[in-house]
């Protein structure tokens, strides 16, 4: 007995000692970060190298001593702010883009691109160097004054393509079926679970979407590279930029250089001699300094509320939208007398129809008190459009994917698999409908009828929100719906959005509606600090580790398939989301 008591005491003491060491380590790191500081020297070059995924908003807080220790992404809002600060910073001579495999959406890349063009037009230089330029990387790089590529590097320029996965045969082989209930005219909805090939209607809408996105990108690249759209299409069709020499000959790049030769070009642009060094400032360091400088100043405020990720019922967080965080942010902005207008930044493929409606309601209530303007990011479709429909004005990027106005339900059913492996489920009921649904039994006509009724009612509610929000008839709303996806440029033409523009344009429009000329920006929602998340939810770290292991073992393609199947089987309730997951590359 004494041995066990001593053993437990030793184990407890060891755990306490390890905990103390762990906290001392965190405190040491945080103090080291505070003491280190960032010194921006004169004649510096801001180096943009996007090594982490880019989200619209991370909620970074410099007051958090552990900020940056556990973050896995960088905020688009921080990047755009840093570029704007650098434009007016006398210590920054220019920007060097050293980036490949940028992990961002097309509209996010366009937003960075537009900010770099504005920076360049201030008289400072923007140069780009890369060993490899994938298509999204080149779209960003083409805004630079000069684009340089490694002589033995590679450039990908071939036009856009989309890939959609179909699961009908997988369901038949495994006996795990997704029961689908949809609005009757919602033709492209959940096609992947109903057939093995893309329908002609779906192929047509995706092709038109890609052509619209590609056309917007071509306009930007044509203007900055001084190449006609016809020439750019010809280069893409013939793969005329597949080697560095071909890319140079076609005009996609300016020169082929090694890194030391590129640095000589930078020195030349800065008026430095060959024996002088270059003061590089990394983006991560400059972000810390830029956050201390406010571009918007004034006693009045505009609240910018970020809604990013899938829409799920619940609290919400940095990677998914829940009614908890978003609605509290809307209420707080509405009740704050200093806030004169609200900008809702939406980047979402949709999700729970119930949550979408709960957020829509708070948007409408807020609009009664002060102007609400929506800024659409990469995707603002289905539920993402639902929560936007109640605003005074909607702005989208030309490359935004929006629309997809429709609802559906998918319910997993394993009755065939259960039969194959010898499982039989029996039910005992007090009433005829007490057993709502069983995974182990085929869906009954009565249950399908009830679900269909709910789907139809939700669809009509969605149409009503769009009709009232866009001031159009129900018939017109229905003609624009049916689950059809549109680019931002197409959405402007048909009246689903009011203007083309980015977040800064939306903020300016909100200020105009509020009739204010000077104002500061307040960003919402406020996420838990990194330290709070680490202490409260260590299981999140385990989840990330598990996902990293799965991705490493399965490979990216198989891992993406795993995620698609997992996402489909975890859906609950009526869904207002993109009817398929589309990968554009």
Q: Which DSSP letter does residue 443 get? A: P
**Known catalytic residue: 415?**
no
The closest alpha carbon to 527, from 376, 315, 350, 349, belongs to: 315
| DSSP H or E stretch at residue 524 | strand 520-524
299 three-state secondary structure: coil
Distance of CA 192 to the CA centre of its chain: 23
Q: Within 10 Å of residue 410's Cβ, how many Cβ atoms?
A: 18
Alpha-carbon gap, residue 404 to 255, rounded angstroms: 43
> Residue 48: beta bridge partners?
97
CB-count exposure of residue 536 (10 Å: 0-12, 13-18, 19+)? exposed
Residue keyed to tokens 């996402």: 567
Catalytic residue among 382, 404, 415, 487: 382
Give the list of residues 6+ apart from residue 311 with CB closer than 8 angstroms, or none: 320, 321, 322, 348, 350, 351, 352, 355, 356, 359, 383, 384, 387, 576, 577
Torsion, Cα 375 381 382 388, to 10 degrees, reads: 10
d(Cα 5, Cα 2) in Å, to the nearest integer? 5
Beta pairing class for 499-500 and 393-396: parallel
585 belongs to the catalytic site:
no
Instruction: Say which residue the tokens 């890609």 belong to.
Output: 210
User: Is residue 480 within 8 Å of residue 403, measured between CB atoms?
Assistant: yes
DSSP 311: E
Output 29-32 pairs: Cβ under 8 A, ≥24 positions apart. Answer: 29/66, 29/69, 30/65, 30/66, 30/69, 31/65
If you count them, how many residues does the chain have?
Answer: 585
CB 138 within 8 A of CB 125: no
Contact 370, 514 (CB under 8 A): yes
- The residue from 124, 187, 265, 288 that is catalytic is 187
**Active-site residues: which are they?**
187, 382
């Amino acid at each position: 007995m004494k041995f066990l008591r001593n053993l437990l005491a030793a184990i407890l003491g060891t755990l306490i000692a390890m905990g103390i060491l762990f906290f001392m380590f965190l405190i040491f790191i945080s103090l080291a970060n505070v003491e280190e500081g960032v010194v921006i020297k004169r004649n510096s070059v801001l180096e943009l190298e996007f090594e982490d995924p880019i989200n619209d908003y991370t909620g970074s807080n410099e007051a958090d001593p552990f900020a940056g220790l556990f973050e896995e992404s960088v905020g688009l809002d921080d990047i755009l702010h840093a570029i704007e600060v650098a434009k007016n910073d006398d210590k920054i001579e220019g920007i060097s883009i050293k980036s490949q495999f940028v992990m961002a959406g097309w509209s996010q890349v366009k937003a960075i691109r537009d900010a770099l063009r504005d920076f360049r037009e201030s008289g400072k230089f923007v140069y780009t160097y890369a060993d490899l330029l994938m298509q999204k990387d080149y779209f960003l790089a083409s805004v630079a004054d000069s684009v340089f590529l490694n002589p033995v590097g590679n450039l990908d320029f071939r036009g856009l393509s989309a890939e959609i996965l179909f699961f009908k045969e997988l369901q038949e082989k495994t006996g795990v079926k997704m029961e689908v209930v949809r609005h009757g005219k919602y033709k492209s909805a959940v096609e992947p679970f109903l057939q093995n090939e893309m329908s002609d209607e779906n192929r047509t809408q995706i092709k038109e979407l890609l052509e619209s996105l590609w056309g917007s990108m071509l306009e930007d690249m044509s203007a900055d590279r001084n190449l006609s759209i016809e020439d750019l299409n010809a280069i893409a069709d013939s793969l005329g930029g597949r080697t560095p020499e071909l890319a140079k000959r076609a005009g996609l790049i300016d020169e082929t250089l090694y890194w030391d030769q590129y640095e000589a070009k930078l020195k030349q642009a800065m008026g430095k001699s060959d024996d002088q060094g270059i003061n590089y400032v990394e983006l991560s360091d400059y972000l810390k300094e830029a956050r201390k400088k406010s571009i918007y100043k004034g006693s009045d405020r505009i609240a910018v509320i970020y809604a990013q990720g899938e829409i799920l019922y619940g609290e919400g967080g940095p990677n998914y939208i829940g009614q908890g965080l978003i609605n509290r942010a809307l209420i707080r902005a509405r009740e704050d007398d200093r806030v004169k207008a609200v900008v809702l930044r939406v980047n979402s493929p949709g999700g729970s129809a119930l949550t979408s409606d709960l957020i829509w309601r708070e948007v409408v209530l807020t609009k009664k008190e002060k102007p609400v303007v929506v800024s659409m990011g990469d995707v603002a479709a289905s539920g993402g459009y639902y929560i936007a429909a109640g605003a005074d004005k909607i702005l989208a990027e030309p490359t935004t994917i929006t629309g997809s106005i429709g609802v559906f339900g998918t319910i997993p059913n394993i009755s065939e698999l259960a039969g194959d492996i010898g499982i039989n489920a029996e039910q005992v009921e007090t009433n005829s409908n007490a057993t709502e649904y069983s995974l182990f039994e085929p869906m009954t006509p009565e249950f399908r009828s009830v679900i269909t009724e709910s789907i139809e009612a939700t669809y009509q509610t969605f149409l009503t929100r769009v009709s009232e929000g866009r001031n159009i008839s129900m018939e017109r709303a229905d003609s624009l719906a049916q689950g059809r996806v549109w680019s931002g440029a197409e959405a402007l033409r048909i009246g689903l959005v009011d203007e083309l523009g980015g977040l800064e344009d939306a903020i300016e429009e909100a200020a105009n509606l509020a009739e204010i000329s000077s104002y500061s920006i307040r960003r919402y929602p406020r996420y838990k600090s990194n330290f709070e998340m680490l202490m409260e939810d260590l299981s999140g770290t385990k989840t990330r580790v598990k996902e990293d292991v799965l991705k490493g073992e399965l490979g990216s393609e198989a891992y993406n398939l795993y995620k698609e199947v997992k996402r489909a089987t975890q859906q609950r309730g009526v869904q207002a989301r993109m009817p398929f997951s589309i990968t554009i590359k």
